[in-house]
A and B are shown apart, each in its own frame.
Chain A
Amino acid sequence: MTRLTGTTMAQDAPGRLLLVLLLALAAAAMPAGLRAGQGTGEPLQGTISVWAMGDEAMRLPELARRFEAEHPGTRIRVQAIPWTGAHQRLLTSVAGNVTPDVAQLGTTWVPEFAAMDSLLPLEQYLEGSDISLEDFFEGSAETAYFEGRIVSIPWYVDTRVFFYRTDLAEEAGWDHFPRTWEELEQFGADLTLDRTGDGRIDQYAFQLPTRGEQELFGFIRQAGADLLDSETMEVLADTPEMTEALAFYQSLFLNNYTPWQDIAALGPHQSMARGLFVSFISGPWFVGIFEREVPQLAGRWAVAPLPGHHRESSFLGGSNMAIFRGTRNPDLAWAFVEFLARPEVQLQWYREVGNLPASRAAWEDPSLGGDERWDVFRRQLEVAEPPPPVEFYKAIEDLLQNQQETLILSRRDPAEVTGNLAAGLERLVSLRRTEEGNLAPIVQTILWLLWPLGAALALVAFFKRRQIAGLGRYKTPFFFLLPILLHLGVFLVGPIFASLLLSFTNFDIYSLGSWESTSFIGIDNYRLLLSDPLVGRALINTFYFVGIGGPLTIGVALALALALNSAVLPQKGFFRTGIFLPVVTPLVAVAVVWRWIYAPRDGILNYLLGLVGLPEFGWLADPNLAMPSIIAMSVWKNAGFSMVIFLAGLQAIPRNVYEASDIDGASRWQTFLYITLPMLRPTLVFVIIITTIGYMQFFAEPFIMTDQGGPEHRTLSIVLLLYQEAFDFFNIGYASAIAYTLCVIIAAISIIQIRFARGEEYS
């Protein structure tokens, strides 16, 4: 593997004029030199910062205090990073070279950050240490490596097992959970029941995801199939075993042993408690959830290892601890990482937050060993495997999920899906960067060209000084706009210009490792996106959303504003506030409620429709209904926003105009058509343009409602796509190209809108 590594040195940025672009590149090029600081025998001292994720970080300070007590004079500053957005936060901090000393990294993130050359290799520290990678579960130890180097230390692990209802299984004569695929099939046939005899299944044997690569990964490995060899980068997916795994997974759906969509509103345990399905696959965190949230089920559920086929396997995940190259105190950083890996500390961590120790020795403790459930997890961990440790794993994840969806929702032939999967993997491998880039000399050339350009401008200004002096009468607008234009120029136009330039480069994670590897690639990104089927799909979806959702939102908002402006409506303050509430309600809360409304089986909407005898609809899970469902939700959420603007606009219409029309005996409709609407025109123009621009960039709704754009990409929007490219895969160049394509489209639409509006506005 010939990726450019190691040779990065502090680059002297050759100028400051293309400030932002240069910063993006130069910052990435300046990781602190590798430090060889192994055991000088001096006592540890100083301070390090540790980034940990989510609620786990809330408990980590307790361990840090214990460490500090062992090493007086040291200080561990733990920063909690929300899981949501943790990836962006880490990526930007690497880009800006403001990394912490130590960070918790999800096991599948390790290769990515190692590929950016941002992690400190740890072999030399491990040599003289009490801990060794052999202390950990085999699969867990594998996640410590990237390209043969040890770049992280396992912290905690998780794996996937089956959770199932023992009472329902026993009722059908099963005293154990299936151990093989054949048994699993039989279990499916025995436990999938139509109890009420109305032709509708009331009890499914399983609940398996249509987009869940971790569950699918288990089946793939059990069949003996694999994705790719992370050392040789050889794609191994195109095998009969892969087809076998996919066919088996598909058959569970085709036989209706599992529902075709996620039918639970708030997590599978509640539906399982009600007997809607007998089993599902999940991780260790669900043990606590079961105990806390469905106590009535105690003694009637259990966990079981995933059934084997040609071999046994499951997905292995978890988190590792890594030291960033930028650290100023590698000795202390290592001491802390080492401390966290000690069996007794791992055990303490398990007791406090319930995360499973990666260290095998910790499992010898009676608090873990005695429990039957943890025994299942332990057995599963012995055979569980991490996915291939490659820096583009996020893209593989996405590929797997997409193929999984076509396999199930489109009932595609498994052999064909195998082919697509292999082809997709080949493409991802081919995208890896291997040669020197040409961006650095080009940027330097541009910088040199800026001098004559500046000189030319100065010359023009000199010869046109008379005309410039004549501009004195525009003094007021000039000084009014000056601060604003300066501000927008720096904070808006600057970044826009930088990202526009980036759209002509192949800026990606490799650029963060060494920016010399970045190339100016002309319009290649734009050419690529023309042939990207996802871009086409996302464009269609976006137009669908804007075309239907835009007018609907504006119409509803206008109607509401008119009603609120009507003289006869009492309690206006109450109504105004009520209608505005959805606008302020955070989307996470909105999403929960609307998922409940749309849930296919227990959902409020289907319940109401059932009362009038209508069948069950899939709503968000149905490829054809997903977008209308999203639109309905968006109208509900956003109408209040435009309504406020309309209200303000309606207030600008003088009362006497209405009185005049009243006197003339105009009907309500005539008043609206001939007085309100024309007078409201500037407001209407504004709302239409803003709504179009905002809706063309819609993103949050599918992001949280439909698992990032499903089903089958029917709710994938352009901005969601570019967000995934930018922050999941860090293809900043390509993402920027998508953004500017979208920008041109919106601009075209807006210009048409403004043309139509012009007459009145400028008169």
Chain B
Amino acid sequence: MSLAPSPPVSTPARAAVRQRVREREPRFGWRTRERLFGVVLATVMLIVVSAMIGPFIWMFVTSLKTADQIIETPPTLIPRPATLQHFARLFDELAFLRIFLNSLIVTTSITAVSLFFNSLGGYTFAKFNFPYKNLLFMALILTMMVPMQVTMLPAFLLLKELGLLNTYLGLILPAMSSVFGIFLMRQFIYSIPDSLIESGRLDGCSELRIFWSIILPQCRPALAALGIFTFMAAWQDFLFPLIILHDESMYTLPVALATLSGQHATDWGLLMAGSLVVILPIATVFMFMQRRFVAGITLTGMK
């Protein structure tokens, strides 16, 4: 990665272009084309995004409809009359606060702890040399290729033996670090210049300090992305909590919601209301975290 300042540009024409770039002022001619491109891009994106949001809107509308409105064909966009009965049922039939707290405790713990360990692991693999490093890393990657469906039973028996069935820890501990996370962080930490680490060492920082104060702030976009993924996966996980948690008061949100469904009949309104309740916290987390995508390396990488 080039850290040297760009060589001075001498041609007057180039200098003029550079001047415009510097000022970031919209001009006629060259800038108009740029604007036009922006409008076209925004239009295309608007179409794409409506296709993306469509089902979500449908879900929202359905959660407010009565049973006979839901199955109307063609589907109507406005629920008439709108009803909150499905949400009311969620709160009536489930110990909602407790269940929400269960999910929140487990998910935030997993996210916080695993972000730390995964970035530490990613940093070690990206910036240190040690014997068998690549072999070890390949072995870790290899474990990703084993479908969790076959390791679930042994993992369950292991947790049972450790006395962790039906506990928060039983859900948190297995997710403490993940190969996916280590791999993701490693790829990003590659692009952090070694000189930053070296200067930290020269300043007498401890190795952990270098990681915490120099490396972590540098990979905020990646941490934000990984944080969202981890949060999302833990928040939506169904099968593992289902077999680990044996007590209804320990159920997480997806498990508790699933108990409301019948064997044959599906209550679509209830299902959609439940799905919304699951999505909203993740969407909120995403909206806050996504701002981080534009922070970080942009400034510091070129100091």
Contact = CB atoms under 8 A, between A and B. Distances in A.
Q: Do A and B come from one complex?
A: yes
Contacts, number: 370
Interface string A572-589: 111111111111111011
Contact of B293 (A80, A267, A596, A648): A648
B52 A663 contact: no
| Interface SS majority for chain B | helix
B294 A651 contact: yes
A265 to B, nearest CB: 8
A27 interface: yes
A665 B290 CA distance: 31
B243 A92 contact: yes
A569 B296 CA distance: 20
A569 B265 CA distance: 45
Contact of B271 (A21, A574, A588): A588
B151 to A, nearest CB: 4
B180 interface: yes
A431 interface: no
A560 B51 CA distance: 13
Contacts of A295: 68
Given A491-B174, A582-B55, A592-B268, A563 B293 contact: no
Contacts of A656: 6, 302
B156 interface: yes
Interface in A725-763: 726-727, 732, 735-736, 739-740, 742-743, 746-747, 750, 761
Nearest to A282: B264
A266 B55 contact: no
B68 A581 contact: no
B143 A602 contact: no
A581 B45 contact: no
A697 B75 CA distance: 34
A644 B190 contact: no
Given A602-B73, A654-B297, A722-B150, A588 B275 contact: yes
Given A89-B243, A499-B151, A636-B52, A647 B258 contact: no
B239 A578 contact: no
A82 B255 contact: yes
A293 interface: yes
B297 A652 contact: yes
Categorize the interface residue count of chain B: 35 or more
A478 B130 contact: yes
B48 interface: yes
A566 B41 contact: yes
Contacts of A175: none
A575 B42 CA distance: 9
Contacts of B282: 584
Contacts of B158: 19-20, 23, 490-491, 494-495
A154 interface: no
Interface stretch (A54-62, A135-143, A225-233, A532-540): A54-62
Contacts of A294: 68, 71
A55 B259 contact: yes
A662 interface: yes
Contacts of B151: 492, 495-496, 498-499
Contacts of B87: none
Interface stretch (B76-84, B101-109, B115-123): B115-123
Categorize the interface residue count of chain A: 35 or more
Contacts of A495: 151-152, 154-155, 158
Contact of A578 (B2, B52, B225): B52
Task: Name which of B58, B283, B286 has the most chain A CB atoms within 10 A of its CB.
Answer: B286
B282 to A, nearest CB: 5
Interface string B224-254: 1100110010001011001100111000001
B52 A640 contact: yes
A269 interface: yes
Interface string B155-174: 11110110001000000011
B115 to A, nearest CB: 13
A680 to B, nearest CB: 10
B275 A88 contact: no
A586 B298 contact: no
B100 interface: no
Contacts of A614: none
A655 B120 CA distance: 27
A476 B207 contact: yes
| Interface SS majority for chain A | helix
Task: Name which of B49, B154, B225, B291 has the most chain A CB atoms within 10 A of its CB.
Answer: B154
B145 A693 contact: yes
Given A53-B263, A657-B2, A27 B160 contact: yes
Given A81-B259, A98-B165, A569-B38, A88 B150 contact: no
A472 to B, nearest CB: 11
Nearest to B207: A476
A568 B149 contact: no
B156 A92 contact: yes
Interface in B24-60: 34-35, 37-38, 41-42, 44-45, 48-49, 51-56, 58-59
B286 to A, nearest CB: 6
B146 interface: yes
B74 interface: yes
Interface string A80-116: 1111110011001101101000000000000000000
A584 B152 CA distance: 23
Nearest to A570: B42
Contact of A655 (B160, B260, B298): B298
A484 B37 contact: no
Given A79-B246, A596-B75, A686 B52 contact: no
A649 interface: yes
Given A477-B130, A495-B155, A560-B48, A57 B259 contact: yes
B296 to A, nearest CB: 6
Interface in A657-701: 657, 659-660, 662-663, 665, 682-683, 685-686, 689-690, 693, 696-697, 699
A352 to B, nearest CB: 13
B156 A585 contact: no
A573 B293 CA distance: 10
B222 A648 contact: yes
Given A270-B71, A499-B150, A24 B157 contact: yes
Nearest to A276: B73
Q: Top 9 closest A-B pairs, CB basis?
A: A568-B38, A82-B258, A578-B49, A648-B221, A495-B151, A495-B154, A593-B55, A498-B154, A477-B128
21 contacts: A23-B154, A54-B261, A88-B239, A89-B242, A93-B243, A294-B68, A488-B179, A490-B158, A496-B146, A563-B41, A576-B290, A581-B53, A584-B232, A584-B283, A588-B275, A649-B187, A652-B221, A663-B21, A682-B191, A689-B183, A739-B149
Given A586-B275, A663-B18, A743-B146, 12 more contacts: A55-B262, A82-B261, A88-B239, A95-B157, A269-B71, A294-B68, A471-B131, A578-B53, A596-B75, A645-B184, A651-B296, A665-B17
Interface of A: 19-21, 23-24, 27, 53-58, 79-85, 88-89, 92-93, 95-96, 98, 265-267, 269-270, 274, 282-283, 285-286, 288-289, 292-296, 471, 474, 476-478, 480-481, 483-484, 487-488, 490-496, 498-499, 502, 560, 563-564, 566, 568-586, 588-590, 592-594, 596, 602, 636, 640-641, 644-645, 647-649, 651-652, 654-657, 659-660, 662-663, 665, 682-683, 685-686, 689-690, 693, 696-697, 699, 719, 722-723, 726-727, 732, 735-736, 739-740, 742-743, 746-747, 750, 761
